[in-house]
Amino acid sequence: MLNKITDQSSRLMKARLARGFRSAKEAATYFGWSYSSYIQHEQGLRGISRASAKYAKALRVSEGWLLTGEGNGPSLPIPDIEQSIDKQIIDLLKKQVSQIKKQFFSF
């Protein structure tokens, strides 16, 4: 289940970056979404199923691609998008590992 959510969140981030939004806050503000909900979806803290249709439409990808990786993803490559995505994913994973350590190892 965790892999499914992180794959979806990774695709959500790729779609956002491909649309030219450098931050989750920028995209949420532009589209009028709750930043708190959107960032949780992008960080993989919550599944995106209920919001996938609105994200897909706004980010110009298919809902199927967001949910499963099948279908139409971002159509225009953005320079350095892979490097940017890799860095953001690494940063998110570090943050999640830190939170997990605190949760399980703080007595």
Tell me how far apart the alpha carbons of residues 46 and 38 are, in angstroms, rounded to a whole number.
9
Angle at 8 between CA 100 and CA 4, to 5 degrees: 65
What's the pLDDT score for residue 87? 76
Note the Cα 52 to chain centre separation in Å: 11
Tell me how far apart the alpha carbons of residues 44 and 58 are, in angstroms, rounded to a whole number.
19
Domains within the chain, CATH numbers bracketed: 2-105 (1.10.260.40)
Mean predicted lDDT score pLDDT of the chain: 85
What's the pLDDT score for residue 77? 56
Compare 97 and 41 and report the one with higher pLDDT.
Answer: 41
HEC profile for 24-82?
HHHHHHHHCCCHHHHHHHHCCCCCCHHHHHHHHHHHCCCHHHHHHCCCCCCCCCCCCHH
Confidence (pTM):
0.68
1-49: pLDDT as tens digits: 455 557 899 999 999 998 989 899 999 999 999 999 999 999 999 989 8
62-94: pLDDT as tens digits: 999 999 988 888 876 555 566 677 777 888 888
